[in-house]
Amino acid sequence: MQTLHNQMIAMRDGIHLATDIYLPQGPGPFPVVIERTPYDKSKPSRSEIQLDGQHISREQMAARFTAQGFVAIFQDCRGRYASEGVFTKYTAEGEDGFDTLAWIVEQPWCNGKIGSMGLSYAAHTQLAMACLHPPGLRSMVLDSGGFANAYQCGIRQGGALELKQATWAFRQAKESPAALADPAILEALEQEDIHQWFTRMPWQAGHSPLRHVPEYEAYLLEQWAQGDFGPYWQAPGIYAEGHYQDLPDIPVLFMSSWYDAYVSSTLANHAAFSAGTTSAHQLIMGPWLHGDRNITHSGEVEFGALGAFDGQVARDWLSCRLDWFERALKDTPLPGPASVKVFLMGGGTGVRDQQGRLQHGGRWIESSQWPLPGSTQMTLHLTAQRRLQSEPPSAESQLSYCADPANPVPTVGGALTSGAPIFVGGAFDQRERADFFGTRGDNRPLAERDDVLSFQTEPLTQDLIVAGPVCIELWIDSDAPDTDITAKLVDVYPDGFAMNITDGIRRARYRDSWEQPTWLTPGKPVKVVIEPFATCNLFQRGHRLRLDIAGSNFPRFDVNPNSGEAPGQAQYPRVARNTVHMTPRYPSRMVLTVTPCAEAN
């Protein structure tokens, strides 16, 4: 294997990106596999941790690829580590990826066929360049990323800002060229108390923990300020939905997990490629947190040995990708994988293991499609008695709660990532745990809060599989001009353990249009639709389905001041009194995608 370290590839604007190239022995030319990352190409990727605990280095990865006749390439993104330029998160990746591939196909060791791979941001970089139809791109492996629409998943969601962008920016600013070159800047960042800063939101220019690295502060505050869906959100790098018609017809492996931050992006991209191209694709959805494919627990819930990737989905993740690129770039006649492989959570004993984790269990399902064959919709109506039932209400009824921006409902797990050290994702009993930011710390159930409306079914008389989209349609009114509505689907065990399955949010001003906000009128009911991430969970007989409605989910999302102020501004926060209507005229309900148990065998 011949190694070319830090080859500086020129972009169209004259900036050079540092690139490590690993060449196989022999005359060539060869197919190429590339990963473009902001996380230091010289360090092992967190995606390369095997079931046995081995953390595979870039050199070890390259050795496996070159041994099978591939050129392996790893590149630092613009403004990161050895690359030149200024880092502005996401916006340059389409053109930089295009220019890099255009350079690669002109090299004598390249046979004109390029595959791309990478986790999270390194998946975003792939889909960004794919939207520009770069030369040579013949396949992708999108692992837990690739923006279908960053306004709806990844940066914002339901009109609210995902505050993982703030924690990510703070951590990564410490790895910025400025911080690495100037010990004083790094020390200033280290002295910032991020926990205190999260109690002083929203941040402003010069008044944030990022002020020491202005370019990081600038892009974060820009994301925060861009509340309406306008031109900012329609760039190719973060809006593949607007460019699906331009996508190359190439095979793509899509992978994510039910407690990942990119569930909806992954499923939307898979659906678009499946409908718009003729190539063979694969979808893998595990039970994990973001990229943790060989960790079988999420939060305080254990899914069992079957929940690992290695030995269950494929021999291991590296071998899976090598086989994928053998088929895609070399036309090697290897057996093709199932087009859809999803992990059905649930079915476990419900007892605690030696680590104190609840045994929720689960198993893999192979299928030819997603949602699964035989899927239908199930509607559960909300009632004034705080029940979920199949029959619509027959009388006028309503329930109210107050949403106080100074006392938001705390985030306890969920499908999210990059929240450290403020918040973490995963499945947890929904309680005010002392180890979670913003809770009261008294371990009381969140459902007992005055600002949470909780609705649940009677104990199930038979198993129920919810596998696919989830939609909550609420008729609400408020005495405020704007407010947030959150919804959380919960699997309640007979002993009361309340496991969060999926959740979502909708900023009421965007109830009718993402482009044109509309204020609320006091006393006038309006329909607000909340679309949590899809899921795949077996609610066992004796369990209950629960739906929690509230006005915030902080620090996962920024808190709405309820005042109608511009995004990222909250000079005049106020308490909103919100009312949920449950009447024949205004039927609030939850619509689930359910699959017969026989179809999931």
Output the pLDDT for position 598: 58
Specify whether 406 is located in the same domain as 291.
Answer: no
Output the pLDDT for position 267: 98
Confidence of residue 396 (pLDDT cuts 50, 70, 90): confident
Amino acid at 290: H
Specify whether 348 is located in the same domain as 485.
Answer: no
Boundary of a domain, candidates 228, 259, 281: 228
Confidence of residue 600 (pLDDT cuts 50, 70, 90): low
Output the pLDDT for position 46: 85
The verdict on residue 391 lying in a domain is yes
Boundary of a domain, candidates 335, 367, 399: 367
Output the pLDDT for position 193: 98
The verdict on residue 570 lying in a domain is no
Query: Total structural domains in the chain?
Result: 3
Specify whether 162 is located in the same domain as 258.
Answer: no
CB atoms under 10 Å from CB of 527, counted, come to 14
The verdict on residue 568 lying in a domain is no
- DSSP per residue over 341-408, as a string? EEEEE--S---B-TTS-EE--EEEEEESSSSPTT-EEEEEEE-TTSBEESSPP-S--EEEEEE-TTSP
Boundary of a domain, candidates 228, 248, 263: 228
Output the pLDDT for position 237: 87
**Token pair of 269, please?**
């991209």
Closest CA to 174 of 145, 120, 200, 212: 212
Specify whether 447 is located in the same domain as 504.
Answer: yes
Question: What is the mean predicted confidence (pLDDT) over 156-176?
Answer: 96
Specify whether 64 is located in the same domain as 191.
Answer: no
Specify whether 73 is located in the same domain as 129.
Answer: yes
Q: Which domain holds residue 180?
A: 156-228
The verdict on residue 567 lying in a domain is no
Mean pLDDT of the chain: 96
Specify whether 417 is located in the same domain as 502.
Answer: yes
Residue-wise pLDDT tens digits, 299-352: 999 999 999 999 999 999 999 999 999 999 998 888 888 899 999 999 999 999
pTM score over 0.95: yes
Give the 3-state secondary structure of 447-476.
HHCCCCEEEECCCCCCCEEEEEEEEEEEEE
Specify whether 145 is located in the same domain as 163.
Answer: no
Specify whether 518 is located in the same domain as 393.
Answer: yes
List Cβ neighbours of 58 (8 Å cut-off, separation of 6 or more).
Answer: 20, 41, 42, 43, 44, 45, 74
Specify whether 204 is located in the same domain as 304.
Answer: no
Specify whether 283 is located in the same domain as 388.
Answer: no
Query: Which CATH number do you get for residue 444?
Result: 2.60.120.260
CA atoms within 13 A on the CB side of 240: 33
The verdict on residue 600 lying in a domain is no
Output the pLDDT for position 581: 97
Cα torsion through 164, 170, 175, 181, rounded to 10:
160
List Cβ neighbours of 183 (8 Å cut-off, separation of 6 or more).
Answer: none
Under DSSP, is residue 490 helix (H, G, I), strand (E, B) or coil?
A: strand
List Cβ neighbours of 281 (8 Å cut-off, separation of 6 or more).
Answer: 251, 252, 253, 254, 270, 273, 274, 339
The verdict on residue 569 lying in a domain is no
Question: What is the mean predicted confidence (pLDDT) over 88-117?
Answer: 96
Query: How far, in Å, CA of 388 to CA of 383, rounded?
Result: 7
Confidence of residue 394 (pLDDT cuts 50, 70, 90): confident
Confidence of residue 1 (pLDDT cuts 50, 70, 90): confident
**Is a pLDDT exceeding 80 seen at residue 127?**
yes
| Measured CA angle at 429 (ends 428, 432), to 5 deg | 105
Query: Which CATH number do you get for residue 129?
Result: 3.40.50.1820
Confidence of residue 288 (pLDDT cuts 50, 70, 90): very high
Specify whether 15 is located in the same domain as 91.
Answer: yes
